[in-house]
Structure 1
């Protein structure tokens, strides 16, 4: 069945912002967590389009913000997600810088949601220290820094009235299970990202009522 323009317009619009974890590095498009979430919502009778995605592997908070500005995107969305910060941690950027730039991204995300913070939700930063790629890395340091950045993100979300979805424990539970990771040994498989989508599903459904 071919969708008519009017039918397409009636669909709720979804914007997913982030980095490699949002674009789904090393996996198929349909395995991206936000694409899987949209499919789950449709299975629950929510008329929502597949997400517009502004994300790229390696992006920090500042690079994501720059890319959003460069995109010229002026659309308003019924649902907006944000998952960002692992590259700030990986590059050794300061928590203070992350806090300021993350706060600005929350404001940007809220603008995309038509000024409705209730339509925005944030996923926590996965702990890549448990990945096969990190087998020779200082896992304790990585975990501590990821915890620090996530605490900042959660606090900023609370201040902004935005829901914070903690998926980090799911990524830590993936340790030792190669089926949870993509072929590069660093990023996550569609199977692991499905768990993120499942955890975000009730939040997304509630956000759509805002």
Structure 2
């Protein structure tokens, strides 16, 4: 029996504050906006589930997934994680090792279909008002280094990859892309991310 046919096509978004949508409403989170875009293109989702929390690192996300016990297979699984590893000064080698484990989990939740997993790059929080007085260039270099890792690891398992970092950096000159807390993305920024993810999500839904 086709489990997806029974359960309907479902989307599971894994991550941290950027996925749970800190400082915006539930309908403005980028996974919710992506689900609406997919629906308009004929890829209706039975549900959009989120396992994410503000402040989570890779290790904390792994623990969160274990506690939540999501039931696959999901037609689409997204993974956006790592900014808190960078912010806390955690070793990049630790990030790589824990990200690899998360990717194994994500592929398993996608029913073993790596092409139904979409990895998003880490946004650059150094352009936000919260980073005022900090070494913005150093933050950008760190974020780029962490993104080299998640890009490589996504390619290693043949998952899809979407760069939202460059879009996030536009917030430096476009303040409307930052939420009222001065740190997290606004609904407008999340809309841009959803549009960037849409082609890969569409492809995953078509082939999955």
Note whether the superposition's TM-score is higher than 0.5. Answer: yes
Hey, what's the Cα distance between the residues in 2 that align with 1:207 and 1:72? 23
- Who is 2:119 aligned against? 122
- TM (norm. structure 2) is 0.95
Deviation at 1:9, TM superposition (A): 5.1
Once the two structures are superposed, the pairs formed by residues 19-58 of structure 1 within 5 Å of their partners are 19-58=16-55
Residue 185 of structure 2 corresponds to: 188
**CA positional deviation for 1:106:** 0.5
Is the Cα contact below 8 Å between 2:119 and 2:161 reproduced in 1? yes
Question: Match for 1:59 among 56, 61, 71?
Answer: 56
How many residues are treated as equivalent by the alignment? Answer: 203
Task: Look up the SS of the partner of 1:152 in the other structure.
Answer: helix
TM-score (norm 1): 0.94
After TM superposition, the structure 1 = structure 2 runs for residues 1-210 of structure 1, keeping only pairs within 5 Å, are 11-210=8-207
1:3 corresponds in structure 2 to none
- CA shift, 1:181, in A, is 0.6
Tell which deviates more after alignment, 90-99 or 49-58.
Answer: 49-58
Q: Could you list the per-position Cα deviations for residues 151-202 of structure 1 after superposition, in whole angstroms to 9, with x for gaps in the alignment? A: 0000011110011100100000121322101110000001001000001001
Q: Distance in 1 between matches of 2:173 and 2:134?
A: 15
In 2, Cα distance between the equivalents of 1:191 and 1:50?
23
Instruction: Name stretches of at least 5 consecutive residues in structure 2 with no aligned partner.
Output: none
Q: CA RMSD in A?
A: 1.2
Kept in 2, the 8 Å contact 1:15–1:81? The answer is yes
User: Per-residue CA shift, 1:11-69, capped at 9, x if unaligned?
Assistant: 31000000000000010000000100000000111121341000000000000000100
- Change in Cα spacing, 1:10 to 1:129, as seen in structure 2 (3 Å) is same
Structure 1 residue runs of 5 or longer lacking an equivalent are: 1-7
Runs of 4+ in structure 1 off by over 4 angstroms are: none
C-alpha offsets along residues 68-117 of structure 1, whole Å, 9 cap, x if unaligned?
00112223201000000000000000110000000110110001000110
